[in-house]
Amino acid sequence: MTHVFKPGEYKTRDGRKAVVLCDDAPGQDALVGYLLSKGDRVEATTWLSTGRYFGDEQHPNDLMPPEPEQVVRWVVLWNDSGVTLERSAPPILAGRKACTRVVLTPGRFDDENTPSEWDRAIDAALKAAADAPGAYKAIRAADAIRALKREGK
């Protein structure tokens, strides 16, 4: 999926700050803005609507889409054998057997090109649960993550 660049702040391919001021300029270079170069020097420039600086070739001045926000959840294996997905880690005294932090990127899980995001989260949950007594219940940790996926949280 291609990012749609609107007026706002971005980073360039080489990591500099870029600001898009206009996204509807006439002609091929629809994006108008500026780059901050070394010593905070301002350089006016334009980009194609795709964020490319020049044609289809990669260039250090290409605009990069913002990084997606990430969500932190905790897969908790409880002493009573239950498994839940929590927004924060419960204290050990609350009856938890094992707990693992998983970092998820919303909006990327249903994309067929990035199934590894869920795979990593499930693997992390299984590893943490496997280290705890009653590790045979570890598969329930993966089920909790799958439930989160279905809920779209």
Q: How far apart are the first and last CA of the chain?
A: 21
> What does the radius of gyration of the chain's CA atoms come to, in whole angstroms?
22
Handedness of CA 37, 40, 41, 46 (dihedral sign): positive
Is residue 141 classed exposed, middle or buried when 0-12, 13-18 and 19+ CB atoms within 10 A define those classes? buried
What whole-number percentage of the chain has pLDDT above 70?
61
- Global pTM value: 0.51
pLDDT at 21 over 80: yes
If one compares 71 and 142, the residue with the highest pLDDT of the two is 71
Instruction: Tell me what the mean pLDDT of segment 111-136 comes to.
Output: 56
CB-based contact 10:63 (threshold 8 Å): yes
List all residues 6 or more positions away from 73 whose beta carbon is below 8 Å from its beta carbon. Answer: 85, 86, 87, 101, 102, 104, 148, 153
pLDDT digits (tens, 9 = 90+) for 33-78: 999 988 889 999 999 999 999 888 899 999 999 877 777 777 777 7
